[in-house]
Amino acid sequence: MSCENCKSCEMNQETRIEFTKEMKKDYTILVPNMLSNHFKLLLKVFANEGYNVELLTNEGRSVVECGLKYVHNDTCYPALLVIGQMIDALQSGKYDLNKVALIISQTGGGCRASNYIHLLRKALKKAGLSQIPVISLNLSGLEKNSGFKLTLGLIRRLIAAMAYGDILMLLANQVRPYETVKGAADALVDRWADQLVAEFDAGKGFAKGALRSYMQQIVADFAAIPVDRSRKCVKVGIVGEIYVKFSSLANNHLEEFLASEGCEVNVPGLMSFILFKVDNRMEDIKLYGGSKAKFAVCKVLYNYLAGIEEIMIDVVREVGRFNPPTAYSHLRELIYGIEGYGCKMGEGWLLTAEMLELIENGYGNIVCAQPFGCLPNHIVGKGMIRRLRELHPESNIVPIDYDPGATRVNQENRIKLMLSVARENMGTAAAPEKAAEPAREPATV
């Protein structure tokens, strides 16, 4: 017997609109914003491959309301914002709705980065925009489009762009609170972003040798900015779910608020997250078995990423005036005995490891951005704060909830309380001794 509703079920089944080779010629691909400077470089790489890409900058309450209208309100806050930003842009009248496409990342894990694409298509259908193709940006072969392909050359260039974005963010954050000419660090970020875009247009800046050379120039330029190191600034780290951690739309311009409070901000970059995602593929095979060929491919990619990371660390360390990024291999060591490497949903053990990294590097005042509906983040973020305080009593960690109903005033007041404790601690004669840490074994991949 067949279900009498079979036909209606079939009609309601999601139909994927493929992004074709013909569409590549004259379609505009809209990209949700997360890290403006990183994405400026990443989008230039795509543009040089013949894609017409545009970064969305619309924000405000209209984006939230649009997300609430087209996404179930039990869905995690990042999904609501990303989808809300896209549909809000489509409904703005700015775009030809028959010549536009959307792109969104899809990792293949058990969390948001895999499910957004289906939520987005459902929302487009509800908004009467089901003709708009949605491109899946993934390395797992989850979805394919004849008009959009990730080649090895493109991946290599995207990795380079991401690394440049990380080093610009790292250096600007360490210079900005001490600069004697206000805006000097931000102006240098913009100048280097423009210069790198020009280099990308000329096909330069992607090889490891070029990366090292350009990064050395970047570090030298930031080191030349006049600063006043006598200023006493509270050092604050930011961790959390990746979108809310980085996106000013999602975290109500958290970095700008901390800067206005005279803080030196440290936001761990994208490189460690990408290494974490590649490492997870290998860890799955170690724990549960799987393809040796897949493991070998992941190992090659991992080693390449680790090599780029090593260049970043080396060039920052050579100057000696800035704190270099922490190597991903060290993050694995930091978390040993605290969380297992199989804890990998969402940001997994990496989020906790980043808090340990920040504490180790003198950024023990930490804002942990907690988006509504993100269960993994609450476990490895807010859920680990007590354990971290046991290991590091000097740490000063505040979880901040971000959701459609949370007010910016309440969020900032909670952060101000954390900062008041931090300023009191700065006035103490000596910091408390660290608690003994569990024995560690060398991290292996």
Per-residue pLDDT of 78-131, as tens digits, reads: 889 999 999 999 999 999 999 999 998 876 666 666 778 888 999 999 999 999
Q: 67 and 194 in contact (C-beta within 8 Å)?
A: no
Asked whether residue 38 carries a pLDDT value surpassing 50, the answer given is yes
State residue 426's pLDDT score. Answer: 86
Helix (H, G, I), strand (E, B) or coil at 60: coil
Buried/exposed code over 131-163 (b: 16+ C-beta within 10 A; e: otherwise): ebbbbbbbbeeebebebbeeeeeeeebbbbbbb
Closest CA to 349 of 359, 365, 334: 334
- What percent of the chain clears pLDDT 70, i.e. is strictly above it? 91
CATH code of the domain made up of 14-149 = 3.40.50
State residue 438's pLDDT score. Answer: 43
d(C-alpha 271, C-alpha 394), whole Å: 28
Mean pLDDT of the chain: 89
State residue 442's pLDDT score. Answer: 44
**Mean pLDDT across the stretch 348-363?**
96
Write the DSSP string, 77-142. Answer: HHHHHHHHHHHHHHTTT-S-TTSEEEEEE---SSSHHHHHHHHHHHHHHHTT-TTS-EEEE-SS-S
State residue 108's pLDDT score. Answer: 65
Closest CA to 390 of 438, 422, 423: 438
Helix (H, G, I), strand (E, B) or coil at 311: helix
How distant, in Å, are the alpha carbons of 27, 55, 192 from that of 441?
52, 43, 40
Tokens of 250: 């999602």
State residue 111's pLDDT score. Answer: 67
Band (12; pLDDT cuts 50, 70, 90): very low
Q: Which residue has the higher pLDDT, 405 or 313?
A: 313
- pLDDT, one tens digit per residue, over 341-351 is 999 888 899 99
Closest CA to 367 of 423, 332, 417: 417
Buried/exposed code over 193-226 (b: 16+ C-beta within 10 A; e: otherwise): beebbebbeeeebbeeeebbebbbebbeebeebe
- Cα first-last separation, the chain: 52
**Mean pLDDT across the stretch 53-74?**
92
State residue 445's pLDDT score. Answer: 45
Residues of the chain with CATH 3.40.50.2300: 233-268+326-445
Asked whether residue 333 carries a pLDDT value surpassing 60, the answer given is yes
Query: What H or E segment, with its residue span, contains residue 147?
Result: none
d(C-alpha 366, C-alpha 418), whole Å: 9
Asked whether residue 3 carries a pLDDT value surpassing 80, the answer given is no
φ/ψ (deg, to 5) at 105? -75, 150
State residue 241's pLDDT score. Answer: 92
State residue 112's pLDDT score. Answer: 60
What is the CATH class of 233-268+326-445? alpha beta
Asked whether residue 430 carries a pLDDT value surpassing 70, the answer given is no
State residue 142's pLDDT score. Answer: 76
State residue 429's pLDDT score. Answer: 32
Band (11; pLDDT cuts 50, 70, 90): very low
- Write down the residue that tokens 């100048």 correspond to: 191
**Mean pLDDT across the stretch 133-152?**
87
